[in-house]
Structures are given as C-alpha cells and as structure tokens.
Structure 1
Amino acid sequence: MSAPRIVSVRTVDHGVVELPEPAWCVKVHRDDVYRADIHHQGVEQSAVVDVPGTGPVRFLTAFLSQYPFAEHGHRNVAVAVEIDGEHYEFDPAGLGDLAATLTAHALYTLLPLRARLQSLSEEL
C-alpha cells in the first residue's frame, strides 16, 4: 500500500498548506483560497431523465465531499447532493433518510399519479 498523495495549496490566511489527498478526490485545488475553503470533491453522479421536447435533464447531482479545515460543518467526508440549486451535505444516516424519502415519493406519489394519468388518457 502506497502513502497518500500530498498536495500543496497556497492559502491567503495560512500560507502553503500541505495535506493528504484522498484517492477519490478528482478536483483540482485552487491556490489563493482560505484554508477553510479547501475542498476535496469526488466524481459527480446525477440522475438523468429524458424530458419530452427537451431531452436528457440531469438532477440530484451527488458526490463525495470534504472540507478538511472547515470552521463549521463537515470536516469528515460527507455526500453533497444538489437540491434546488443548492448543495446540501449528508452523513450516512441523513443520506439514508434522503433515499427513503425519494423512494416513498416515487412509490406513493409519482406512481399513483402515473396510474391516474393513464386512466384519464384512456377515458379520452
């Protein structure tokens, strides 16, 4: 097993900061940021739906995320999910709750609406 890769980031408040780079991080680290804004980010993964007349639309983009020097929030690895144009970070329990909410919405809202729409279409 090899040692973790070390990256150097020039910060405006702490000079050059050297830190281990997680293997999952795909983001290029910018210089001249505040140390608290150093961000490790994994590969973005989105749900995609084909919208008639529009084509593929990406939504619920999710990725591994860590702010190792965060003053508030997640210093530990979390999953960031884009909802309404904002990114919200979830720990394992919160991500499980989100998945359960999405599943329940699909089962108890979207699928019944699909059935209702189908019956209305057949009445025409």
Structure 2
Amino acid sequence: MTEPRTVTLPTADAGDVVLPEPSWCAGHQLHDPETLRVDLVHAGPAVDCSHLGTDLFSAELVQSPYSESTNPLLGGRTPGVSVWPIGRTLDPVQLYSLAADLDRYADQLRALADQLATVLDGGEGR
C-alpha cells in the first residue's frame, strides 16, 4: 500500500506544518515561509484562457486545509475551483453556471463577428 503524500511547509506562526497533499496538488514551489498556517493552500495546475497575449481567465482546483473562513466563495477546507479575475472559489454547480455564461458570451461574440464581416463586406449589419 502506498503511503499518503505529505508535504512540510514552514509557516510564520506555527513553524513547520506537515499536511497531507492531495494527488491533484501541483506542489508548493512558490511557498512563502512567512505564510500563516490558516493561509496554506493546495493548488492544482492552472487552466488558462488567453487571447492575443492577454490573460482573460485562469482557474485551478484549490483547498485551504486550515482555513477559518466560513465564506465558501473565498476558499476553504472543502476543495473548490478558484477563478481569476472573478476572485471567487466556485463549487461544481457555480462552475457549470460560469461555463454556461461563457458559452452564451461566445455566441454573442460570434454574432458580433458575423455583423462585422457583413459591415466590412459593404453591408449594413444589423
């Protein structure tokens, strides 16, 4: 049987903290030893959406195992998906809702592209 993965992270208030590391965690290469224990975060690989060199969205699976926050939108002990620039941690239902909103927005962008193509071809557009 494989032992659960653990990681030891130095903290400003609690010294070295040994915590279980979920299989989806991408590691803690950028960990700051001045971090407080309540602010420790596991984060998975980021899923980025960029266009023409500009970052539009980034999302990653996160969990703050020692969080004292009672607001699930700000992250917490239960894993969620942190979305930037929204600045919220979403549960599965909220993440599906965001995806549906982005689908609708993509449809609106395609309609604008069609309208622009008509205008550029000498038509009136809508």
Give the structure-2-normalised TM-score: 0.81
- Aligned pairs for 1:70-89 (under 5 A) are 70-72=67-69, 73=72, 74-83=76-85, 87-89=87-89
Confirm or deny that 1:25 pairs with 2:22. Answer: no
Displaced runs of 4 or more, over 3 A: none
Instruction: Give the letter aligned to residue 16 of structure 2.
Output: V
Alignment of 1:1-124 (within 5 A): 1-28=1-28, 29-49=31-51, 51=52, 56-72=53-69, 73=72, 74-83=76-85, 87-107=87-107, 109-123=108-122
User: Percent identity over the alignment?
Assistant: 33
One-letter code aligned to 2:50: V
Matches of 2:54 and 2:34 in 1, distance apart? 34
1:75 Cα deviation after fit: 1.2
Helix, strand or coil for the counterpart of 1:102? Answer: helix
Partner of 1:25, secondary structure, is coil
Report the residue type matching 1:6 in the other structure. Answer: T
User: 1: CA distance between counterparts of 2:32 and 2:68?
Assistant: 19
Please state whether the residue corresponding to 1:123 is helix, strand or coil.
coil
1-side partners of 2:2 and 2:58: how far apart?
Answer: 31
How far apart, in 1, do the equivalents of 2:54 and 2:3 lie?
40
3-state SS in 2 of match to 1:61: strand
TM-score (norm 1): 0.82
How many angstroms does 1:23 deviate by?
1.7
- Identify unmatched segments of 5+ residues in structure 1: none
**Structure 2 unaligned residues grouped into runs of 5+:** none
CA displacement 1:11-65 (0-9 Å, x = unmatched): 222333211011221232332321111011111121132x3xxxx3332111111
Whole-angstrom CA distance in 1 between matches of 2:114 and 2:20: 52
